[in-house]
Structure 1
Amino acid sequence: MSEEQSVDEELDQGTMRERQTGRRTNRRRGGGGPTVSTIYWRDIPAQLTARGATEQSKVLLHARFQHAIDRAAGVAGLTSTDDYVKEWRNTAAPLSSGDISAKLDQLCADIEDQYPRERLEAIVANGGLDPDGASV
């Protein structure tokens, strides 16, 4: 087993997420309810941000996703900062009202379940693009 595999397997153990929450003040917001944004590098999700009228919560997905992004960038030959940054994208969707943090935790768990190790490895091997075209 290589050192990289060992580190990745170690990172697969447990939930390693970073969370930031806060209150939104003095921000103008258009109509509509809460939203959730998912940030991807190519087809690999990295972070979720939920925004309500008065609160915001951000969660980075498990560290294995960032490691997969870094490895996929190398496979794709996108090692310059400009090339790497150009591949980030953001999707937004409505979020039902209620406890934003709890909803964000559930969405994170759902995404982490949708990207088991085998699927993530296939995406890495394809330079960050889902070979099945199944990403959002």
Structure 2
Amino acid sequence: MPQIQILYWRQIPAQVRVFDGRRPLTEQLPDRFQQHIDRIAMREGLAGTDEYLAQWNWSSKQECEGDAQQLLRQTVDQLIADHDPETQEPDARDTPTLTTEPEDV
């Protein structure tokens, strides 16, 4: 059964990966998400620091039914719809509630 995992910088999603077999399928969110992360990091003086890197966390893996490629596309589309950085300025201190230790990015 495929498993979905989302990479966040604080609460801002940046990448999705779906595990179904040996190699995960991965997709980064559009550039505007990384640009939003970079703007916040620069505003807070975190760019290029260990504190910046420490803010990256993977969500817990969530098992889902269905085709891995379709799950990846649906998850990315839903994150784009729910977390548009151009219309939302979230509290940059918030972090996702279900996280694990950072892994290979």
Query: What root-mean-square deviation, in Å, do the aligned CA atoms of Structure 1 and Structure 2 show?
Result: 1.9
Q: Which has the larger radius of gyration?
A: 1
Q: Which runs of 5+ in 2 are unaligned?
A: 98-105
The structure where helix makes up a greater share of residues is 1
Deviation beyond 4 Å, 4+ runs, structure 1: none
SS in 2 for 1:129: coil
Aligned partner of 2:29: which letter? L
TM-score (norm 2): 0.78
1:71 aligns with 2:39: yes
Give the fraction of aligned pairs with identical amino acids, expressed as a percent.
28
Per chain length, whose mean CA-contact separation is higher, i.e. which structure has more relative contact order (CA < 8 Å, sep 6+)? 2
SS in 1 for 2:75: helix
Aligned partner of 1:63: which letter? D
Q: Residue 15 of structure 1 corresponds to which residue in structure 2?
A: none
- The alpha-carbon deviation at position 52 of structure 1 amounts to 1.1
1:86 aligns with 2:54: yes
Whole-angstrom distance in 1 between the partners of 2:33 and 2:43: 15
TM-score (norm 1): 0.62
Q: Which runs of 5+ in 1 are unaligned?
A: 1-32
